Structure formats: C-alpha cells, structure tokens
Amino acid sequence: MAYKLKSHRGAAKRFKKTATGFKRKKAYARHILTKKSTKLKRELRDKLQVTACDVPHVEQMLPHC
C-alpha cells in the first residue's frame, strides 16, 4: 500500500493555485488597523503572486493542486 500524500493544511489556507502560479495575501492587514493609513490599508487588499524562488516550496506543500 502506497503512502498517501497530504497537503500542508496551513499552506492550503494561505495559497490558491492560479493558471500561472500561486496567489497570496499581503502581511500586516489583520489587526491594529486604526494606526494604519487608509492608503496603506487599501494597498494591502491586493493579492500578489508567490515569487518564483518560493513556488517549488509551495508546490511541495500542496501536492494535489
């Protein structure tokens, strides 16, 4: 019987597969938002692509994506 590959559950909640790679949220957008400017909070809404050097690590954590 073969070993069953499992996804890293923390990574599964943080990264989503796209046609060209993975997308992720930006940091610093979760709490203590009253000190942060409206401009900063607006810029933190956008999603980013995972950088090319980190994609192999994310793929290893998410084998079924």
Q: Does this model's pTM top 0.85?
A: no
Phi, psi for 24 (deg, rounded to 5): -145, 160
Q: How many residues are listed for the chain in this entry? A: 65
4.10.410.60, 3.40.50.300, 2.40.50.180, 1.10.150.120: CATH of 9-61:
4.10.410.60
* Tens of pLDDT, residues 5-47: 999 999 999 999 999 999 999 999 999 999 999 999 999 999 9
- What confidence tier does 3 reach under pLDDT thresholds 50, 70, 90? confident
Angle value at C-alpha 47, between 33 and 32, nearest 5 degrees? 10
Domain boundaries, the chain: 9-61
